[in-house]
Structure 1
Amino acid sequence: MTAEPIRVLLADDEPMFLETVRLLVDADAGVEVVALARTGRQACELAERHRPDVAVVDVRMPDLDGVAATRRITALPNAPKVLILTTFDLDGVVHETLRAGASGFLLKDVPPDRLLDAIRTVAAGEALLAPTVTRRLIAEFIRAPTPNRPRRSLDRVTPREREVLALITRGLSNAEIEQVLHLSRHTVKTHIGHLMAKLAARDRAQLVIAGYEAGLAGP
């Protein structure tokens, strides 16, 4: 049986860019565009109406910016995953979108095949960040801890789950975690499921933030 295509909402205020991405996505048999939005508010309305699997959202949009739109979209029942696609490679923007519930953050100069891979990745519940963004995020949290940053409690997390969370925070994939901790794929997925439940994390991106807040990004 052929798998159902991943249903995608595209939100961007640049018509030419929006149409270019639509053509790119629709050319892939495993992905289909179900709605196009030109404003943040329209993105929220179409997300609620069409229930896509993934919403690809720009940060700078009229009538509601991408951060606010992401917050509303991820609050929907059975919410779609949100992938931020933007020209603004700024740490503050990255933090805001991830805290709003985004599962991924890419820049608009990403190669086409990388964008399609990113849509599949976040649809599967994985987190995805542009490599340069990931490196800077980790460097910032290690270099500049602040007393005002919330630190999520790990009281309910077991020692093994804490090890898994630390590796997730440092950017390791499931396969890499299996190798480092000598665990089976099923066991790693079980630990991640427990972490999501205990830390109220809707996806892997939120686990990464929880790890940062708990101080697990250091060596």
Structure 2
Amino acid sequence: MSSTCKRGITHSGPFWRAESPGGVGVAERPAAAAAGPDRNPSSPGPQAAALGTAATGLLRLSGVVQDSIVDGPGLRLAVFAQGCPHLCPGCHNPQTHAAGGGQVWRIDDILAKLRSNPLLDGVTLSGGEPFAQAPAMAELARRAKGLGHHVMTYTGYTYERLLAGAEANPGWRELLEETDVLVDGPFVLGRRSLELRFRGSANQRLLDVPASLRQGRPVLWEPPED
């Protein structure tokens, strides 16, 4: 599974490795979900409170990959949001586009997976569009950082668009502030390149968010050498 249409490259493992709690308002599922993803018997029902808010602690996800090596530096827990307004041509994860697809996850259950693997270096928020569920994604990022983990977030928006829209969109500023590295911009099929690390097309940037916020301008982030 790749990290959303923003990347357009193939994950080291097939999408059906994503794990999700079953039976919660599923409109779309990974092709091989029947192969036996993890089940969460305590998963909230489809009438649960609104998703994507910090208060409910619920997210609608396409899936979670527990041992990604392509969604950021080191070994990472990759969280794929369900729902995307960008619909980039050539997106590698079109199954993440429908807002009503995927399954409902509790933030606590995602953090439990994070705690269960001491080898993980960080969390990657991808999708889909994480900023479509920004308040709850910000809460997940905040709590992951509290456990000492690096947070990388993919978005089809540009950094400048996120700043400009932060006042009108709850959670945008908070998710930016909890993000260490932002991969910004839509996937552009005509600028696709397999040579780019952690990106799918040349228009996208790897941004050091804390430095960018401090300096009042986008500051590029250089990935560590392998």
TM-score, normalising length from structure 1? 0.36
- When you count helix as a share of all residues, which structure comes out higher? 1
Q: Higher strand proportion, which one?
A: 2
Scaled by the length of structure 2, the TM-score of the pair is: 0.35
User: Relative contact order (alpha carbons < 8 A, sep ≥ 6): 1 or 2 greater?
Assistant: 2
